[in-house]
Structures are given as structure tokens and as C-alpha cells.
A and B are shown apart, each in its own frame.
Chain A
Amino acid sequence: MVDLAFGFLIVVSLAGAVMAVALKKVFHNLIGFGLAILGSAGVTVILGAEFVALMQLLIFLGGIAIAMVFAVMMSTPREQDEEDRSPGRVLGAVGIGSGFMVVVGFLMLSGVFPAAGPQDDALFSAQHLGLLLLSDYALPFEAISLLLLAAILGSVIVARRSREDDDLPTEGVEGV
């Protein structure tokens, strides 16, 4: 039963990933991206990491995908420029990708990992994770908060500065 669900999730998320890469319209790419994230969140649930799966859904789908939809809406190209899909480019990209997959897949399968079988569920729970984040990993946790704050402030500044270069009158609009 779990195997069946696992196979289904893998098929869904890989199909979504291929959609996210191969289709020409960015909006269709985003739908494929959503499928890929849904499927891989399911895989994370099968692995027993429910909290990570929820965060994956919340941030990748609820945050990043939605922000990308807004970016697509606000940045419609003035002229529809066709992407270069010459056979050479496609073959080169797919060749590098599949070469990567063959080499890394071979290394992964031939590697010897200290296998322990599935770990204890209690050590995998959200409660244990919360304790870890507030004790051993408190400093990295704070660092990532700082990184997020800096990134978001930076992105606001980058997006604002380009607006000031426009010829549109900004007085009166600023005072809102």
C-alpha cells in the first residue's frame, strides 16, 4: 500500500517537474512546479517527516509559487520573445542533465552508507525537532532568521529602486 502510494507520488512529482521545465508558457511551468512540490511533500510524509512536509507545502507552494505567479503577472514581456529551442540547445541541456543523473545515480547506488534501517519515529517527531532547534541549533536558527530578514529587505530595495527611475510623477503617490 505504501509502495503504491510512493510510486504514484514519484510519478506525479517527476511528471510535474518535467512540465515545469519543458512547457513554454511560464504559467504552465508554475502549475507543473506545484505538482512536483505536492508529490515530493508526499514523499517526505512517507519518510516520516510530517513537519518538514508541511513546511515544504507552506513555503514552496504558498510562498514561492504564489510570489512567482505575481512576478509573472507583473512582468509580462512587451514583445513575446520566443525562446531558442534549437535541437542543439535542447540536446546539450538534456545531455548534461542525463549525464549528471547517470554519474550521480551510479555513485549513489555503488556507495556504502552506514544503513540503520528506518529510524525510530520518536526521534523523528516534530517535538524532537523543536527541542533541537531551540537547544543545539539555536544559533543557526537565529542566523537563518537574520538571512531571511536581510534578503527580504534587500529585495524590497531592489524592487523599489527601479521604480524611482521611471518618469512617472512620484509626488502625491508617496504620501499614502
Chain B
Amino acid sequence: MSEALSSYLLFSCAMFAVGLVGVLLRRNLVAMLIGVELMLNAVLINLVAFARFTDGQPGIGQVFALFIIGVAAAEAAVGLSIVLAVHKARGAISVDALEELKG
């Protein structure tokens, strides 16, 4: 089981789907960010699994995984500061409070 590519792929697919549900379902900004982080984490596992089990230079998958971690950190920093700014301006961190651009 741990020697087959497909089990890792299914695992990361399930985790990505859970993160997707989180982004779609939640209205709290921090909870939505958690969903996005889960999705990034799933992609990271996927890349490392492909690097392990397919042809090609195996280090590249890990390099991309490290870049994903960097992008996740940047995204979390910007997202959380936006959360703080929204909270200061509105007193709530629900996306329902942000509807100026609603058509």
C-alpha cells in the first residue's frame, strides 16, 4: 500500500477535496484560509509522491514542494493581515460583510 503511487494520489485527492469543501462552505475568512492551506498541502504531497514514483530527476519534485511551502507562507501572511484589516474596518471577519462589489 505504501509502495504504490495510487494510494498517495487518492490520499492527496481526498485532502484537496476536503479543503475545497472548506473554501466553499465556510463564511469565516480564517476558516476559508485553512481550507486553502489544506489544498496546498495536498498538492505538496502529490508532488513528492510523483517525484518518488515516476521517472525523471527525483529532486525536482521536492524543490517544487519547497516552493509551494514558500508560497503558502506568503499567502498566509497576506491573507491574515487582510483578515485583521477587515476586522478593524467592519468588526466581523465573515465574507458576508464584504459585498460592495456584489453586482
Residues on A facing B (Cβ under 8 Å): 2-3, 5-7, 10, 13-14, 17-18, 20-21, 26, 29-30, 33, 36-37, 40, 43-44, 46-49, 51-52, 55-56, 59-60, 63-64, 67-68, 70-72, 74-75, 77-79, 81, 83-84, 89-90, 92-94, 96-98, 100-101, 104-105, 108-109, 113-120, 123-124, 128-129, 132-133, 137, 140, 144, 147-148, 150-152, 154-156, 158-159, 161-163, 165-166
B5-19, CB < 8 A from A: 5-11, 13-19
Q: Is the CB of A68 within 8 A of B74?
A: no
Take A33-B37, A47-B8 as given contacts and tell me if A77 and B85 are in contact as well, using a CB distance cutoff of 8 Å. no
Q: Tell me the total A-B contact number using a CB cutoff of 8 A.
A: 260
Take A48-B52, A77-B93, A97-B20 as given contacts and tell me if A59 and B15 are in contact as well, using a CB distance cutoff of 8 Å. no
Q: Is the CB of A129 within 8 A of B73?
A: no
Q: Is the CB of A81 within 8 A of B88?
A: no
Between A and B, 30 residue pairs with Cβ closer than 8 Å are: A2-B2, A21-B19, A21-B25, A26-B28, A33-B34, A36-B15, A43-B45, A47-B8, A47-B45, A49-B62, A64-B72, A67-B80, A74-B84, A77-B87, A77-B92, A93-B24, A115-B5, A117-B53, A118-B53, A119-B51, A124-B58, A129-B66, A132-B60, A132-B63, A137-B63, A151-B77, A151-B78, A152-B77, A155-B82, A162-B85
